[in-house]
């Protein structure tokens, strides 16, 4: 994805993971994003404050914004 072209909106977990894991399989990219969230307690805490729970399939725009703030744009 071109820099600056990422749009904050609702994403499916796998859909967002694929943007971060370009070239990976859907399963691998999903596992990678999950691991990145899991190993970053500050990111996990912030997501949970925004209503996210582990295993949730759909991310709200606010949750996506939190992920981008911690990980950068995909």
pLDDT at position 5, please?
86
**Is residue 18 helix, strand or coil?**
helix
Q: pLDDT (tens digit, 9 = 90+) per residue, 6-52? A: 999 999 999 999 999 999 999 999 999 999 999 999 999 999 999 99
pLDDT at position 4, please?
62
For residues 20 and 29, is the Cβ–Cβ distance under 8 A? yes
| Count of alpha carbons within 13 angstroms of residue 26, beta-carbon side | 4
DSSP state of 20: H
Task: Give the containing element (helix H, strand E) for 59.
Answer: strand 58-59
Separation CA 74–CA 52 (nearest Å): 20
């Amino acid at each position: 994805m071109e820099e600056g072209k990422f749009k904050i909106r609702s994403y499916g977990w796998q859909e967002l993971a694929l943007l971060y894991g370009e070239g990976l399989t859907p399963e691998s990219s999903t596992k990678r994003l999950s691991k990145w969230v899991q190993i970053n307690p500050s990111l996990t805490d912030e997501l949970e404050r925004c209503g996210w729970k582990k295993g949730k399939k759909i991310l709200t725009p606010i949750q996506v914004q939190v992920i981008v703030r911690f990980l950068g744009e995909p």
